[in-house]
């Protein structure tokens, strides 16, 4: 479904992606792992066109992302951002229903609000949160609202950028379970980037490890612990000794 073919991206002299090749099948939950600053976010932002890659090609269902109707393309995606990226000036329900209040997916206001409240319920938030503003919510609640916004229009493909960063272990577990449940029940294709191994085991069907600008290893999550790839071994054991430099 999503194919990245030899993607390169540099910022000045910093060559972040040096030939990333990755394929995600329809309905699959792919988790990209890797250390901080290895280009995980750049990779998924390249797919969405938020970052222009320097060379290589990215296709979704065989169609290059740079061709075709951009709005229709983006309507297929939902994304949960690392910090939630909720709009401060809008209430919670208006954040969740953002796409339903404008553009090609526009619905009547009451209907959009009902859908937003339903999605908030789906992520474990009650209706009384709907009229609050993001600044009035805890970090965990903001993540849930971000998740509700990502699934508001039942997208085919959902990206999760560091979904558990900054959360306590219990809330991380709740978010991980929610992501897994939602992806399964929606039948969506999911790409998650994280360096939290608990998230990897809870969310992933397949895992790809990004290091030095390339996919160092990829395979089913069931093979992750058995692999003898030294990069993966070092990463999942959290060891300072190994091919990955501890000081970057």
Other CB atoms within a 10 A radius of the CB of residue 62 amount to 7
In the chain, the N- to C-terminal Cα span, in Å, equals: 34
SS3 content of the chain, % helix, strand, coil (to 5): 40, 25, 35
CA–CA distance, 60 with 34 (Å, rounded to integer): 23
Beta carbon of residue 231, minimum distance to another protein (angstroms, whole number): 28
Among 11, 55, 63, 103, binds another protein (CB under 8 A): 103
**Angle at which helices 109-122 and 139-151 cross, to 10°:** 120
**SS3 of 198, please?**
helix
60 forms beta bridges with: 2, 63
Number of residues that bind another protein (CB under 8 A): 24
User: Residues 63-92: x/- map of binding to another protein (CB under 8 A)?
Assistant: --------x--xx-xxx-xxx-xxxx----
Is 95 or 218 the residue whose CB approaches another protein more closely? 95
Is 26 or 102 the residue whose CB approaches another protein more closely? 102
What is the footprint of another protein within residues 29-58 (CB under 8 A)? 45, 48-50
Among 13, 36, 67, 104, binds another protein (CB under 8 A): 104
Which spans of this chain sit near another protein (rule: CB under 8 A)? 45, 48-50, 71, 74-75, 77-79, 81-83, 85-88, 98-99, 102-105, 149
């Amino acid at each position: 479904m999503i194919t990245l073919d030899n993607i390169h991206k540099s910022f000045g002299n910093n060559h972040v992606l040096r030939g990333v090749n990755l394929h995600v099948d329809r309905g699959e939950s792919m988790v990209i792992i890797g250390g901080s600053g290895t280009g995980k976010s750049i990779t998924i932002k390249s797919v969405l066109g938020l970052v222009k890659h320097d060379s290589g090609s990215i296709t979704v269902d065989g169609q290059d992302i740079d061709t075709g109707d951009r709005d229709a393309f983006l309507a297929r995606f939902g994304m949960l951002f690392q910090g939630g990226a909720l709009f401060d000036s809008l209430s919670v329900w208006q954040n969740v229903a953002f796409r339903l209040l404008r553009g090609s997916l526009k619905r009547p206001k009451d209907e959009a609000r009902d859908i937003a409240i339903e999605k908030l319920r789906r992520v474990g938030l009650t209706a009384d949160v709907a009229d609050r503003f993001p600044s009035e919510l805890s970090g965990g609640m903001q993540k849930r609202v971000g998740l509700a916004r990502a699934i508001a229009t039942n997208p085919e493909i959902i990206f999760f950028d560091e979904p558990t960063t900054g959360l306590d272990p219990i809330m991380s577990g709740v978010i991980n379970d929610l992501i897994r449940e939602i992806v399964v029940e929606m039948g969506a294709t999911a790409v998650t980037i994280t360096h939290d191994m608990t998230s990897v085991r809870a969310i992933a069907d397949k895992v790809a490890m990004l290091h030095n600008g390339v996919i160092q290893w990829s395979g089913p999550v069931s093979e992750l612990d058995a692999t003898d790839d030294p990069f993966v071994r070092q990463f999942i054991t959290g060891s300072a000794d190994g091919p990955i430099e501890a000081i970057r």
